[in-house]
A and B are shown apart, each in its own frame.
Chain A
Amino acid sequence: MTTRSEQKAMRIITAILAVLILIPSLYGFGSKLLEFIALVRGDVDGVFAISPVANYLLASAGFFCLLLWATLNGMFHDIEAPKYDMLDQEEKLDQEERQAV
């Protein structure tokens, strides 16, 4: 069990890390995105870039939504449980099969 002060400390550390990592990353990503938009609008090279980048962004956006959905629906709670369930299930299937033979 974590105490309230520990929880507060964890929140503060998470916030600091988020600021330190996310702001430079967002700045980098944003400036590259602007560069890309400028390229698409102003340069014939932009046409070359649209298809692969659009493909990537569409696919990644879909998987980002899936990741979000999985997180919100508890798919990563008790993250190690499925590996034990899978083996138990296989054992049951094998037992049933043995009995059937």
Chain B
Amino acid sequence: MSEATETQTHDHKDLVDEKIVMAYFFMALTFMLVSMLGGLLMAGQLLRHNPLSGIELFSPGRWRMIHTNAIAYGFLANAFLGLLHWSIPRLTLHPVLDKRLSWLIFAAWQIVVLATAAGLLFGQAQGLEWGETPVWIDPVAQLGLLLVAINFMPPILKVKGPMYVTLWYFLAMFIWTFLTYAMGNFVPEYFVSGTSAGAVGGLFIHDLVGLFVTPLGWGLMYYFVPIILKKPIWSHGLSLVGFWGLAFFYPLNGIHHFLYTPIPMFLQYGAIISTIAVEMVVTTVIINFFGTLWGRGRAVVEDLPIRWFYTGMVFYFLTCLQCAMQTTLTFQALIHFTDWVVGHAHLVMYGVFSQWIFGMMTYLIPRIWKTEWYSRKALEYHYWLSAAGVFIMASDLILCGLFQGWSWASLQPWEHSINVSFPFWVVRVFAGLAMFAGLLVFLWNIWMTWKTREEVELSNVALPA
């Protein structure tokens, strides 16, 4: 970044293909809608109000997988790919390798996600949590990830001199995601079995969060927070500590999903210790971002993208703190298999990463369309319904998990834990409805912004002089 190269350009139009960014956003929000519908159906199922009861194709087990896969591969992956098309060319001053390849990847990725959904509905799921993509799709998805790396890595590799932390995260993510997907989907399927396959599955589940979603999320935060606040990150050195800490401590975390299993204890202890080490690393990252905000605290009130980002950061710190506690053997004995884990997953996937993406969309959509949001009030509704909804849902499920754990620990009949859970599951439905309403408001606002958009001077939108 510090040394100019001959092929660099400062022309935004040459660097960024805004149409593909919007196309990815559109698909991401479509899959978010599908995923939330799946979540609501599952919530209804738990209350014995399943409108699709008796239809095998739409059985709850299959809907649950649609819910999780649509979020991971439909919403998060699509949104992140769109955001990479914006941030990498602007950070490196080089366009992606080939814009036609970008559109090919876009089309291929939608086919992968839709084929996954069809495969899951027809009962062809692979027996691996979060890797349920049918086995015949795995090679195509793997090829897609390779093409993504081929398209995005050249501009990063052209950067001369010390790299900005965001590019470190992105560079590592392209390698990690490719390896993680291969490890999780092929190793347990074809090379190892039994407990060993379980251990690899544990690594896959957690590495997908820590080595795919996390580096993308934090990489984008290190890009968007300084440019919106117009203030450099508090300490670039500390941000690199966070990156290298993630690189060395995260890969062993996954086995903490399988504590108290026949996996050798030294591996379980290793996972627990590295999880606690990651929490230390996370603390440095949080300190860095709040150090950056220091003196500009009003931005959290006035600037919606910044509010989304910092809300997500607070939730991130809480989830990691939770993670460090829940992976201890004592705690795990109580909460394993309970709704605590479901609450934790919602807090991290929706409370953190989805909220960050909403913040980035809130910033970029009017900028790309060169207009202002149709309704600021609707943006506020989207924020409050989503943030309050996920906070209530996560708190509710975490508490529910404790009651379930105590019920099982006291050797009560299974039905007792169901009866105890019922009120919590009712609250969960209403929290989910609030989040869903927030999304609908956001979609309506996007539609109205598009319909009523007027060419206004760019400096009035998102480019304060």
Question: Which A residues form the contact surface with B (CB < 8 A)?
Answer: 32, 35-36, 39, 45, 47-53, 55-56, 59-60, 62-63, 67, 74-87, 89-90, 92-94, 96-98, 100-101
B227 to chain A: which residues have CB within 8 Å?
87, 90
Report whether A55 and B226 are in contact in the complex, using a CB–CB cutoff of 8 Å: no
Name 14 A/B residue pairs within 8 A (Cβ), A-sorted: A56-B251, A60-B247, A77-B162, A78-B162, A80-B237, A83-B226, A89-B91, A90-B227, A96-B10, A97-B12, A98-B459, A100-B11, A101-B370, A101-B457
Closest Cβ–Cβ distance, residue B371 to chain A (whole Å): 12
| Closest residue of A by beta carbon distance from B249 | A60
Closest Cβ–Cβ distance, residue B22 to chain A (whole Å): 17
| Closest residue of B by beta carbon distance from A101 | B458
B93 to chain A: which residues have CB within 8 Å?
89
Contacts A75-B163, A93-B10; is A86 near B262 (CB within 8 Å)?
Answer: no
Closest Cβ–Cβ distance, residue B231 to chain A (whole Å): 8
What does DSSP make chain A's interface, helix, strand, loop or mixed? helix
Q: Is B402 an interface residue (CB 8 A)?
A: no
B196 to chain A: which residues have CB within 8 Å?
47-48, 50-51
A62 to chain B: which residues have CB within 8 Å?
175
In the complex, A84→B231 CA distance in Å? 9
Which of A74, A87, A93 touches B162 (beta carbons < 8 Å)?
A74
| Closest residue of B by beta carbon distance from A53 | B267
Which of B165, B175, B192, B465 touches A82 (beta carbons < 8 Å)?
B165
A97 to chain B: which residues have CB within 8 Å?
12, 458, 463
Q: Is B388 an interface residue (CB 8 A)?
A: no
B244 to chain A: which residues have CB within 8 Å?
63, 67
In the complex, A100→B196 CA distance in Å? 58
Closest Cβ–Cβ distance, residue B321 to chain A (whole Å): 24
Kindly identify, within residues 287 to 307 of chain B, every residue whose CB is under 8 Å from any CB belonging to chain A.
none
Q: Is B100 an interface residue (CB 8 A)?
A: no
Q: Is B331 an interface residue (CB 8 A)?
A: no
Report whether A49 and B267 are in contact in the complex, using a CB–CB cutoff of 8 Å: yes
Kindly identify, within residues 208 to 240 of chain B, every residue whose CB is under 8 Å from any CB belonging to chain A.
223, 226-227, 230-233, 235-237, 240
In the complex, A83→B2 CA distance in Å? 10
Report whether B232 and A87 are in contact in the complex, using a CB–CB cutoff of 8 Å: yes
Report whether A79 and B164 are in contact in the complex, using a CB–CB cutoff of 8 Å: no
B10 to chain A: which residues have CB within 8 Å?
89, 92-93, 96
